[in-house]
Structures are given as C-alpha cells and as structure tokens.
C-alpha cells in the first residue's frame, strides 16, 4: 500500500513525476515495515522530447508514462505475493488458482484476498497500456481489499524517516 500511495502521490503532482526504474530492488522497508520507494531518477512527465531526435531513449516521456509505472507496480505486487517475477502467460493465458501462485513461505493467507490482489496485478500488467488502471484507481481497489489507509502505510517509528522528510521539505 505504501508503494501504491507513493506512486499515486507522484502521479498527481503538477507536473506529475514518474519513477524511471520501479522494481522490487527500489523498495526498502523502514524499521516498522513501511515501504519506502527510492533509487530513482525522476522525469517530469511534461518535459517535451526533442522532435526528430534520433537518440530517443526509454526514459523520455514519449516512452515513459504513468501507465508504465502502473505496470511496474503490478509486477512488484505480483513479486510480493508469489516471490517470483510475473509470467504474463500464467496470469493471462493459463491462469492458476491463487493458492498455486502464493509464495510457499507464506504460512497463512486468505485465498479470496489473494485472488482479488491477483486481479489487480492482471489489470496493472495488461499488455495494452490504455486498458491499465491509473494509480489512483489501483489505490482505491487495494484500499478496498486491504483496508489500509495512507496514514497507516507511512513509516512511524524510524527517526531517520522524519529526518529525511525534514531535509526534503527544506
């Protein structure tokens, strides 16, 4: 939820800010297990790419958009659930029961909750980016499933977190 709230916040800034390389290695946990998204350079999503430029790259706004972040978030969510990177074939062409996709080290889980989370994953990693939900829609769906509010997803116990916030705000 912390990752989803963070991306939603970044996407709703004016101008929006996109994460250029979101994966599980760019998410850290604070002492109280709250997610902290890091390890990224940001791109202002409205800065124009040079027309006719032959040296376009994947970090230019024409290739990176909020839906790219949504897809990356879906991959991270799947990795959290399963302990593996998503295999689109198993999620779309040959869907398995939720219990078969869950990380075997998870001792207990509610299968109906996992099924609902996997449906969010499927929506996020839809191969057609125009059919993916926005991060705001993802947050709403995940909040319905988990009941976790933004204030609950924030780190509370780490004095370093509050120091970082103070440094960022100045």
The reply to whether 152 falls in a domain is yes
Predicted confidence pLDDT, tens digits, the chain (170 residues): 999 998 999 899 888 888 888 898 888 887 777 788 886 555 544 444 444 444 334 444 445 789 999 999 999 999 999 999 888 777 777 778 888 999 999 888 999 999 999 999 999 999 999 999 999 999 999 999 999 898 888 766 655 555 555 555 54
Q: Residues 13, 59, 69, 8: what is their CA dihedral angle, to the nearest 10 degrees? A: -10
Q: Which tokens belong to 51? A: 């027309």
Q: Residue 104's domain is classified under what CATH number? A: 1.10.510.10
For CA atoms 118, 120, 124, 129, the dihedral sign is positive
Locate 43 and state its tokens: 């791109």
Q: Is 25 domain-assigned?
A: yes
Residue 24 in domain: yes
Token pair, residue 25, equals 């290695």
Domain count, the chain: 1
Smallest CA-to-CA distance from 34 within 60, 67, 1, 61 is with: 1
Q: What b/e readout covers 101-132, taking b as 16+ CB neighbours within 10 angstroms? A: bbeeeeeeeeeeebebbbebbbbbbbeeeeeb
Q: Which domain holds residue 162?
A: 2-47+57-169
Tokens 């302990």, located at residue? 83
**Does residue 162 fall inside a structural domain?**
yes
Maximum Cα–Cα distance for the chain, whole Å? 54
Question: Is position 83 within any domain?
Answer: yes
**Do residues 102 and 82 touch, judged by C-beta distance below 8 A?**
yes
What are the distances in angstroms from CA 18 to CA 64, 108, 145?
8, 35, 25
User: What tokens does 45 get?
Assistant: 């999503």
Prediction pTM value? 0.78
Specify if 71 maps to a domain: yes
Within-domain flag for 68: yes
User: Is the residue at 52 inside a domain?
Assistant: no
């Amino acid at each position: 939820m912390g990752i989803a709230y963070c991306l939603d916040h970044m996407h709703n800034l004016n101008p929006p800010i996109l994460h250029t390389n979101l994966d599980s290695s760019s998410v850290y946990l604070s002492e109280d297990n709250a997610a902290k998204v890091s390890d990224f350079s940001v791109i202002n999503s409205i800065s124009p790419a040079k027309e006719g430029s032959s040296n376009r790259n994947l970090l230019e706004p024409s290739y990176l958009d909020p839906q790219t972040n949504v897809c990356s978030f879906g991959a991270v969510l799947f990795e959290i659930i399963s302990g593996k990177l998503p295999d689109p074939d198993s999620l779309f062409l040959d869907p398995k029961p939720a219990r078969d996709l869950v990380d075997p080290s998870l001792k207990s889980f509610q299968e109906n909750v996992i099924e609902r989370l996997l449906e969010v994953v499927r929506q996020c990693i839809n191969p057609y980016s125009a059919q993916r939900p926005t991060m705001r829609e993802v947050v709403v769906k995940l909040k319905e499933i988990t009941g976790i509010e933004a204030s609950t997803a924030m780190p509370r116990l780490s004095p370093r977190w509050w120091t970082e916030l103070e440094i960022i705000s100045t």
